[in-house]
Amino acid sequence: MGLKAGIVGLPNVGKSTLFNAITKQNILAANYPFATIEPNVGIVFVPDTRIDYLANLYNPPSVVPTTFEFTDIAGLVKGASKGEGLGNKFLSHIREVDAIVEVVRCFDDANVTHVTGKTDPVSDIEIINIELVLADLDIVNNRLGKIEKKAETTKDKEAIAEVEVLKRCKIALEANTPLRRIGFDTDALKILKNFNFLTIKPIIYVANVDEESIVVGDNKYSLAVKNYAEAEGSGVIVMCAKLEADLAGLENKDREEFLQSVGITNSGLDKLIFATYNLLGLATFFTVGSDEVRAWTFKIGMKAPECAGIIHSDMMRGFIKAEVMSFDDLFEYKDEKKVKEAGKLRIEGKEYIIKDGDICYFRFNV
């Protein structure tokens, strides 16, 4: 579906190391600010044992898992909203993503420079949040300067509605409150969509700890990040980016054996991919056959014709019906024919809302 998450953070917090691990790409990860200037983009496979099962069942020549896009964005510094560091370039790159993954340094290391001189994850988070708030506030003030007079003189309903929503934004932002914390209704969100505000994007924090902490448990820094995120209703993934980068170079069997040896059940990367996928309200449906087994990403709440349109626009335009069975039913009965005999194969129409794990065959005519 083209949805993507942007990896952000202050310089030298482990963003590029994490990105290397996520995408297994050997990009520059240097110990100085702005080692990353242009955003690096990587496509990752979303881990899903269901597609492995389907591939073994149908044995097709082509197996296509669902994917997700991560963008590594240059490190931000205090004053970015006023042009400091890479300033506007950094902010413009964040505007292009759908969700924010904020990497926060939660380790001490005298060999890795910290731009503020000390490890303080909550302060780091607030530096970034303030810059994003200021950037959004600038947009709000500029727009209000143009639209407020029009709303007063013309009494245009759309202009009045826009002014009301923007004034709510202004109050929140001046109180240093990200817009994602405000409960906007559907009509307000439609208005806000035009502005692509930074602080309205969903966010998840990555507490980047040292290798010892990932084994023994949270350190004081990661606990501080968890407390901060809980207060604002955001998620946290604790991981060691350096360890994940080392793991990324191993074969799957060696990787699993290493994780077991240190007492870790799931890698931080898998947790991050799942968490980001869920953060954006995404789910997976499947198409299967002797020629191809494929996983497709869709937004939770989409109806059958919309999901058909993800495959091809003609399928949405000429949608007739969808033949649907759940992965769980196919897993239970082990065979399509037995699923059908058990009455578990359904014929669904245009109003059917696709569910995670649905296996679909769309009928259409154009």
DSSP labels, 266-295: S-HHHHHHHHHHHHTTEEEEEE--SSEEEE
pLDDT at 61 over 90: yes
pLDDT at 72 over 50: yes
* pLDDT tier at 86, thresholds 50, 70, 90: very low
How far apart, in whole angstroms, are the C-alpha atoms of residue 304 and residue 358? 11
pLDDT on residue 169? 95
DSSP SS3 for 264: coil
Mean pLDDT, residues 245-263 taken together: 77
Return the higher-pLDDT residue of 366 and 188. 188
pLDDT on residue 356? 96
pLDDT on residue 168? 95
Q: Name the residue among 350, 327, 355 with its Cα closest to residue 339.
A: 327
Q: In whole angstroms, how large is the CA radius of gyration of the chain?
A: 23
How far apart, in whole angstroms, are the C-alpha atoms of residue 7 and residue 75? 9
Mean pLDDT, residues 21-43 taken together: 52
* pLDDT tier at 24, thresholds 50, 70, 90: low
pLDDT at 80 over 60: no
Return the higher-pLDDT residue of 94 and 364. 364
List, edge to edge, every strand of the sheet that includes 62-64: 62-64, 292-299, 282-287, 358-364, 319-326, 346-348
Cβ neighbours of 266 (radius 10 Å): 10
How far apart, in whole angstroms, are the C-alpha atoms of residue 20 and residue 322? 40
On whether the CB atoms of residues 92 and 80 are closer than 8 A, the answer is: no
pLDDT at 252 over 80: no
pLDDT at 244 over 50: yes
Mean pLDDT, residues 281-309 taken together: 95
Put simply, whether the predicted model's pTM sits higher than 0.85 gets the answer: no
Residues 127-152: tens digit of each pLDDT: 888 888 988 998 999 999 888 888 88
